[in-house]
Amino acid sequence: MWVMASVQLQYVCFEYRDGRGREGPMDSFKTYKGDLQTDAYEVYNIIDKAYGHINHFHCWAHGRRKFHEALGNDKFRSEYALTFIRNLYEIERKCREANYTHAQRQVERQQAKPILHQFKEWMDKESLVVTPRSPIGTAIGYMIKRWDKFIKYTDHGHVEIDNNIIENAIRPLALGRKTISLPDIMMPPSILDIITLYSELVKHWA
């Protein structure tokens, strides 16, 4: 199940495809022109290279998650990195609570640039001393490799810092796979997704 959402239009689209290969999203976005915010799944990078009419952004929630996952491996470095990210989200919170327009938010986000600069300098330095395949090394490498797409949001007031709207949309699907159970009947995940999606739509529109 592929999920696409528009923050401006306030809609979420669920599209079922067999498998997680490039064919589905390549077809969905072949005529799309505009902004696309994703995690770092390699298929999106293929789309990015194939279609020059897409402006690709990465999601800070996914970057933050990598450092959360590294807390057990290197608590000091992980918490230090999370402090930088927390400061970025504090700027977003201020914009949201003040009900800023996109133009106002873009101006306010300029405060994030010195934070991002310091964060990148720190990661560049630490990447030379941590084990690359350790959880903290993986988190740092994840960010550095995709840095340009992570920081682009600061110059685009209409783009969110993360794609949590997608995360919230797919959470019921994941929970549905775990909780829906019919005795003596084996159902593929696709059927469970459809049942869960239908139940969510009923709750939303009832």
pLDDT of residue 53: 76
Please give the sequence-ordered ranges of beta strands (E in DSSP) within 50-192, or none if there are none.
54-58
Q: How confident is the model at residue 2 (pLDDT cuts 50, 70, 90)?
A: low
Residues 81 and 131 in one domain: yes
Q: How confident is the model at residue 19 (pLDDT cuts 50, 70, 90)?
A: low
Give 147: exposed, middle or buried? Use CB within 10 Å, 0-12, 13-18, 19+.
Answer: middle
Residues 96 and 131 in one domain: yes
Residues 103 and 138 in one domain: yes
Whether the per-residue pLDDT at 196 is higher than 60: the answer is no
- Which tops the pLDDT comparison, 110 or 56? 110
Which residue's structure tokens are 């101006």? 107
Q: What are the residues whose beta carbons fall under 8 Å from the beta carbon of 95, sequence distance 6 or more? A: 104, 105, 108, 109
Residues 105 and 186 in one domain: no
Residues 83 and 46 in one domain: no
pLDDT of residue 199: 44
Residues 49 and 66 in one domain: no
Structure tokens at 5: 């959402």
Domain range for residue 80? Answer: 61-155
Residues 136 and 95 in one domain: yes
Residues 119 and 182 in one domain: no
Pairing between β-strand 2-6 and β-strand 11-15 as defined by DSSP bridges = antiparallel
Contact 67, 88 (CB under 8 A): no
Q: How confident is the model at residue 1 (pLDDT cuts 50, 70, 90)?
A: low
- Which tops the pLDDT comparison, 45 or 94? 94
Amino acid (1-letter code) at residue 152: K
What's the domain count of the chain?
2
Question: Mean pLDDT score of the chain, rounded to an integer?
Answer: 80
Taking alpha carbons only, the member of 9, 138, 117 closest to residue 67 is: 138
Whether the per-residue pLDDT at 169 is higher than 80: the answer is no
Residues 99 and 184 in one domain: no
pLDDT of residue 123: 98
pLDDT of residue 150: 97
Q: What is the mean pLDDT of residues 36-57?
A: 78
Please give the sequence-ordered ranges of beta strands (E in DSSP) within the chain, or none if there are none.
2-6, 11-15, 34-38, 54-58
Structure tokens at 206: 């009832």
Residues 88 and 151 in one domain: yes
Residues 151 and 98 in one domain: yes
pLDDT of residue 61: 95
Residues 20 and 105 in one domain: no
